[in-house]
Amino acid sequence: MKYPFRWIALVAAAGAAVLGVVLALNVGSDPRADAEVSALLGKPAPEWRVTLLDGTEVSSESLVGKTVLVNFWNSWCIPCREELPVLQQWYARHADDPDVVLVGIPRDDTVGAIRRAAREDEMGWAARQDADAEAATLAFGTRGQPETYAIGPDGVIVGSLYGPVTMKVLDQMVARAQGVG
Amino acid sequence: MKLDRRGWAPWVLLGVIVAGAFVFALWPRGGSESVKARTQRLASELRCVDCEGLSVAESSTTAARAQRRDLEARVRDGQSDAEIRGVYMERYGDAILLKPASDGIALLVWALPVGALVLSAGGVGLAVRRWRRVPDGDGGLTEDPATAEVAPRRQSPGRRVLVVGGLVAFAAGSAIALAFALGARVPGGNPTGRDPDVAAVSAASRERTLVAAAEARPEDVDAQLALARFRLGRQDFAGALEAYQTAATLDPSAPEPFAYSGWVIRLQGFPDEGLLLVDKALEVDPQYPDARFFRGLILLRDQANPAAAVAELQQYLVVSPDGPMADQVRNLLAEAVSAASTTTSTTSPR
């Protein structure tokens, strides 16, 4: 071989090129980067529409001007059951408040199980498990259940929580949505 | 200066290799893809949000299936790849992409390996250029005698190998360090990032291992149960049910396959049918606490029979007072007692 070191350099550079391309094709993002805070926080809430189990239709459009708590839940998730007493208490406390609305959107459950659980637990805020509910779970970018989002009267998401809520968290979310927190 | 064409040949070849590699990497794929193929490709670029190490294309969770339907609808609607990715990034953040975006700070992910490559290639080029000016007695490298006369000193072959090796090590080290620092991983493959919560082995490869073990030992009930538990954890109800039922066939004296088959069937929306299998588990082993828990939950939630649920949940606490579900059972029990006080029960506990 007439130019041995030149060929060594060639092989080295070609190897580096292949390595660079392979790595560039395979690097990925941090899978847990979005595990704490919703990407929608501080942004206008997505459009959504669901039908409550009593037949009432509610939507992002119909609730403009109100403070809305959207809670994603299902009948088999244990943390959802843990937060249920808090939601029941909060719902009862605000039953006569026309400016605040709680909507429970089922996620990953069956029609019958949702209906039964909502009836047994007197969840007047629960929506049907249907295509609209599925679209809402996608629109909010839910990762699991329970998840709760607070939407201000201006339609902006001002709070979100992954996991069971407490009364303190709900009150803080509402206060922030109403500009007093 | 006289050019030696044979001496330049390796550099031309190198240029072709590098250019070809980048053209291959960056060549837009798509064009005449079918709706299904395009949906599949986009799904493979998005991370499953409620499972680990899987793309939307690979996952069988309800959310992933809904996302695939959503992707297909958007593809049929004529949205571009960028528009669809944009919608998902808006909802979930950049981390929904298995590969980082190629703008803003994320551009560094792509630019730094290329930078390391260019630096190392440049270094190799400079080193070789310097060697060409130095006569080393092999009769082949000196092409410019005038330059060679002012060369400061002679480079030994060992030193040259050392320099080339150092440059390659620099390039490889830079790229690998970058990949680790950014949590690099192959979609669907093993995570290599630093996040300690991420399993060392991806869900897909772990399931393949469990399936292989179950197939290799078809009579081993433990292998089937391991596969079933794993699938249940990933909310792959159909897969879990299949493995649990195989385990029940292999060992009809074990309560777990029956109890969990019943639970999975209940999760799929058939509580009455699920309860039959839970009852079967209690026939096999009346002390099996998980079956007591499932039975209590089904009685309370699905059959509106809180009185029977109370007895069942109390039985759980008798046989497993410190069991993993004990706290939850106590909460359910309080709820069932409250409900039973206002409801007339017609179903007797077992």
The residue extents of the domains of chain B are 252-347
What is the sign of the dihedral through the CA atoms of A25, A27, A29 and A32? positive
Please judge whether B66 and A15 are an interchain contact, meaning their C-beta atoms are less than 8 angstroms apart: no
Please judge whether A27 and B187 are an interchain contact, meaning their C-beta atoms are less than 8 angstroms apart: no
Residue of A nearest to B22 (CA): A21
Please judge whether A13 and B179 are an interchain contact, meaning their C-beta atoms are less than 8 angstroms apart: no
Supply the pLDDT for residue B191: 29
What confidence tens digit (pLDDT) does each residue in B42-77 have?
Answer: 999 998 887 766 889 887 777 888 899 999 999 999
Assign B303 a pLDDT band (cuts: 50, 70, 90).
confident
Residues 53-92 of A with CB under 8 A from B: 75-76, 78, 81-82
Which of the residue ranges A12-16, A109-113, A122-126, B62-66 would you say has the lowest mean pLDDT? A12-16
What confidence tens digit (pLDDT) does each residue in B73-111 have?
Answer: 999 999 999 999 999 999 988 888 887 666 555 566 666
Most B-contacting residue of A11, A23, A80 (CB-CB within 10 A), to test interface: A23
Measured between alpha carbons, how far is A130 from B159 in angstroms, rounded to an integer? 72
Residues of chain A in contact with residue B90, where contact means CB-CB under 8 angstroms, are 39-40, 43
pLDDT at B234 over 50: yes
How many beta-carbon pairs below 8 A join chains A and B?
Answer: 204
What confidence tens digit (pLDDT) does each residue in A142-168 have?
Answer: 988 899 999 999 999 999 998 899 999
Residue of B nearest to A38 (CA): B92
pLDDT at B33 over 90: no
Closest chain B C-alpha to A135 CA, distance in angstroms: 8
Please judge whether A30 and B182 are an interchain contact, meaning their C-beta atoms are less than 8 angstroms apart: yes
For the whole model, what pTM was predicted? 0.51
Buried/exposed code over B46-68 (b: 16+ C-beta within 10 A; e: otherwise): bbbbbbbbbbbbbbbbbbbebbb
- SS3 assignment, position A10: helix
Assign B142 a pLDDT band (cuts: 50, 70, 90).
very low
Which of the residue ranges A79-93, B121-135, B162-176, B187-201 would you say has the lowest mean pLDDT? B187-201
pLDDT at B199 over 70: no
Mean pLDDT for chain A overall: 87
Determine contact: A41 vs chain B, CB below 8 A: no
pLDDT at B250 over 70: yes
The fraction of chain B above a pLDDT of 90, given in percent, is 20
Which of the residue ranges B72-76, B138-142, B230-234, B306-310 would you say has the lowest mean pLDDT? B138-142
Please judge whether A9 and B328 are an interchain contact, meaning their C-beta atoms are less than 8 angstroms apart: no
Determine contact: A93 vs chain B, CB below 8 A: no
Supply the pLDDT for residue A160: 92
Residues of chain B in contact with residue A9, where contact means CB-CB under 8 angstroms, are 10, 124-125, 127-128, 164
pLDDT at B159 over 80: no
| CATH superfamily membership of B252-347 | Tetratricopeptide repeat domain (1.25.40.10)
pLDDT at B228 over 80: yes
Please judge whether A6 and B183 are an interchain contact, meaning their C-beta atoms are less than 8 angstroms apart: no
Please judge whether A33 and B95 are an interchain contact, meaning their C-beta atoms are less than 8 angstroms apart: yes
What confidence tens digit (pLDDT) does each residue in B283-296 have?
Answer: 999 999 999 999 99
Most confident range (mean pLDDT) of A88-92, B65-69, B302-306 is A88-92
For residue A98, the cross-strand partners are: none
pLDDT at B208 over 50: yes
Assign B209 a pLDDT band (cuts: 50, 70, 90).
confident
8 Å CB contact between B96 and B87: no
Rounded mean pLDDT, B197-204: 42
Closest chain B C-alpha to A181 CA, distance in angstroms: 25
Q: How big is the CA angle at A128 (ends A124 and A132), to the nearest 5 degrees?
A: 130
Most B-contacting residue of A29, A105, A145 (CB-CB within 10 A), to test interface: A29
Please judge whether B63 and A108 are an interchain contact, meaning their C-beta atoms are less than 8 angstroms apart: yes
Determine contact: A34 vs chain B, CB below 8 A: yes
Quote the tokens at residue B174. Answer: 């830079």
Supply the pLDDT for residue B200: 33
Residues of chain B in contact with residue A110, where contact means CB-CB under 8 angstroms, are 268-269
Closest chain B C-alpha to A113 CA, distance in angstroms: 6
Assign A55 a pLDDT band (cuts: 50, 70, 90).
very high
B160 vs A5, A26, A32: nearest CB:
A5
8 Å CB contact between A90 and A101: no
Rounded to a whole number, what is the distance in angstroms from the first to the last CA of chain B? 100
Mind spelling out the 3-state secondary structure of chain B?
CCCCHHHHHHHHHHHHHHHHHHHHHHCCCCCCCCHHHHHHHHHHHEECCCCCCCECCCCCCHHHHHHHHHHHHHHHCCCCHHHHHHHHHHHHCHHHECCCCCCHHHHHHHHHHHHHHHHHHHHHHHHHHHHHCCCCCCCCCCCCHHHHHCCCCCCCHHHHHHHHHHHHHHHHHHHHHHHHHCCCECCCCCECCCCCCCCCCCHHHHHHHHHHHHHHCCCCHHHHHHHHHHHHHCCCHHHHHHHHHHHHHHCCCCHHHHHHHHHHHHHCCCHHHHHHHHHHHHHHCCCCHHHHHHHHHHHHHHCCCHHHHHHHHHHHHHHCCCCCCHHHHHHHHHHHHHHHCCCCCCCCCC
Between B104 and B128, residue with greater pLDDT: B128
